[in-house]
Amino acid sequence: MFKFKTNFWIVFSFIVFASLACSIPGLSAQPDTADIATSVAATMSAQPTPTPMTEPSAQPENLPTATTAVTPTTIPAANRHPDELHVAFISPQQDVYSWSQSQGTIKILDYHDASGLKISEDGSLIAVIRSSSNQQSSLWVVGFDGSLPRELVSWSDLTGFKTAPDSLGTEPNNLQWIPATHLVTFSTREVFDGPGMVLNDDLIVVDAEAGEWNIRLKPGTAGLVNFSPDGKWMAISTAEDISILDMDGNPAASGVLTFPPVITYSEYRLYPTPQWSADSSRLAVVIPAEDPLAEPRQPASIWMMNVAGGEPVLQSQVIPQFIGPVLISPDLSKMFYVKEVGAIQENRREIRTALINGQNDRFVFSGSIPITWDWNPNSEVFSFQTDNASPITVSQMNGSVGDLADTKNLQWFQWVDAQTYLFVRNLNGNEELLIGKWGGGSFSIATLPKSDMFRTQVDFTR
């Protein structure tokens, strides 16, 4: 049923942008790629062609034995979301905190080794990846109020998932909760004594309440997994195709979208990220050009896939800077993107908007390299900065509609709902996490000492 693949993986925004463009690791919002594209274009002729790391020659003979079959316990619709906004975050000192209006800010884990987290849809549980100084990882869960911290998957378990003979073991990657459940999922990534990035294209499902887990998709049969909002489907993205499976791994009626691997001018392969519609009936995905630095520049393609059936449908093509960003609205009807203009050495950019079918393409901004954030959940306006020292501009299809207060010197920004947003900014040598209201003010959730090694990570549900 599955085509066996073992591919290298990196979500380009997570690694390259985290190291070069001041984004916050592990979050979906991302700064743009223009500085990277410019640097690559200026130096590629002087650099040797990167050589991909050697793929594992064989799969392990014995995968870890699951503790038991994992059966999801569905959370009733009335309880799927908390009554108020719940925020979880990792400080630069790698401690875990939670915040809500009624609870306030509390530290719930102070082991100083948290490296990733995701909060459950109902806000009651927080899954945490812990990574020790000797590169040993484990998966934990803790209550939103700090109750019952416990290990779900140990380093010993994770070592059993490795496929590369020379790796030390594996660590969780692409941590997610299956909607409407307390099942947390991850794929495994090889850990090396030195540089190296290999994703095993598997899927592990863990019952966060019972502590039981199983291997839902074996190595080579998955990729980057993205669950539909109703929790019934998963989009599987690899460097060469995108498919839709049900939760048992059976293909949906939709066809498979195939494409040539994207040249990233690095040793890593790019897995595109599909975006689901709110009703879980379809998804849209942007596929960059095979060679995003080819002359003349080649277009990225925007595709739609329908769960009910039919082949993927090409919606439109645009020519963004390098491999993006091209950001699609939550209702999958619109997009905005950053485009190179003028001579390469001028580093000039435009932000343009269009319907997803390519119609009504319009100019919004022209200048130096902007920082793009995300669409408002209302699918009418989107957000960007002209530069990091400027506040966030909120724009729509025909131009700016205003700025957001207190949003200069950002590290991260995301809309919570049509009026509310969360953001992290640099302030007087600290990192500050705030919540703001469009048209109103903002208030601080936490002020945290900066670190040279780690930046604040945030997740939330409401």
pLDDT in tens, 316-330: 999 999 988 999 999
- Measuring CA to CA, how many Å separate 35 from each of 10, 31, 148, 383? 19, 10, 44, 19
User: In the predicted model, what is the mean pLDDT of residues 194-219?
Assistant: 92
- How much of the chain is helix, strand and coil, in % rounded to 5? 5, 40, 50
Lowest mean pLDDT among 258-262, 302-306, 342-346: 342-346
- Which string of DSSP letters, residue by residue, matches 56-68? PSS--S-PPPPSS
pLDDT of 382: 96
pLDDT of 105: 98
Q: Show contacts of 150-154: CB within 8 Å, 24+ apart.
A: 150/211, 152/127, 152/184, 152/206, 152/208, 152/211, 152/213, 153/204, 153/206, 153/213
Q: Is residue 68's pLDDT more than 60?
A: no
pLDDT in tens, 134-159: 999 999 999 999 999 999 999 999 99
pLDDT of 324: 87
pLDDT in tens, 256-293: 999 999 999 987 889 999 999 999 999 999 999 999 99
pLDDT of 446: 97
Give the integer Cα–Cα distance in Å for 375 and 69.
Answer: 39
pLDDT of 438: 94
Q: Is residue 251's pLDDT more than 70?
A: yes
Give the integer Cα–Cα distance in Å for 284 and 282.
Answer: 7
Rounded to the nearest integer, the mean pLDDT of the chain is: 86
Would you say 204 and 188 are in contact if contact means Cβ atoms under 8 Å apart? Answer: yes
pLDDT in tens, 430-448: 999 999 999 999 999 999 9
Query: What is the layout of strands, in order, in the sheet containing 410-415?
Result: 410-415, 420-427, 430-437, 442-449
Which is more confidently placed, 78 or 22? 78
Please tell me the pTM assigned to this model. Answer: 0.85
pLDDT of 366: 92
